[in-house]
Amino acid sequence: METIPHPAVTLGMMLGRGQAFGLLANHSLVAQAECLLKIRESGVYKTTGHTWEQFCPEFVGMSRQAVEALLANLQEFGANYVRLSEIVRISPDTWRRLEPKISGEQIEIEGEMVDIAPENAARIRQAVVSMRSQLQDTQKQKEKLDARMSAGPWMTNLKGRIDDNLQDLHHLAECVRTLEQVTLLRGLLQTFGRQLQLVSKELDDTERVIRENDYPART
């Protein structure tokens, strides 16, 4: 008959395992997080007579808030997020951009799969910093566009400019006198037509994202 360990023994085994994992450079934080998650979910920490608030600093050496943040990251983003966070500070937005480049315990950098390990820390940090810079540039561009769209009657102004251009085109269509001029103007119209189709496709994509995320309509 299998003997069921006493909860206090189980806790000691868990803590011991967590401390042992702490010696493994590549997996320390992930292993400790997984161990702490089991301890919290099972409630075995209560055998010490401590609350979770007291248990974390006393037995883990971290505040409850720090432990909870670590476990939340593990549960929401997975082990690779925690593993990567040991090497470089990484926000959820940056992680979402990087996640498609991660397979197993490796990250793709410039077409090469690189182990997420301390020996590759410098190269991984550089890749994450570059990704973070791209995200910041994209956010700045979005903020500039939002500012332009909310700064005044932008639709009226845009319509006015389009109307002026259309009037110019009508005038040119009436004034051309040679086949060469007809060909040039028709080519210009075809180019504009292709650009308008691209704008329409981008608008379709934007509408799909708005509907999927149930964003409030812009007024």
Q: What is the pLDDT of residues 147-195, one digit of tens each?
A: 666 656 667 777 888 888 888 888 888 888 898 888 998 988 898 888 8
- State residue 6's pLDDT score: 42
- State residue 65's pLDDT score: 93
C-alpha span between 108 and 80 (Å, rounded) = 13
C-alpha span between 45 and 53 (Å, rounded) = 11
Task: Give me the residue spans of the domains in the chain.
Answer: 1-86, 89-151, 153-212
Q: What is the pLDDT of residues 175-188, one digit of tens each?
A: 888 988 889 989 88
For 24-51, what is the mean pLDDT? 80
Above 90 in pLDDT, residue 206?
no
pLDDT band at residue 118 under the 50/70/90 scheme: confident
Above 80 in pLDDT, residue 215?
no
Nearest alpha carbon to residue 181 among 195, 196, 169, 194: 169
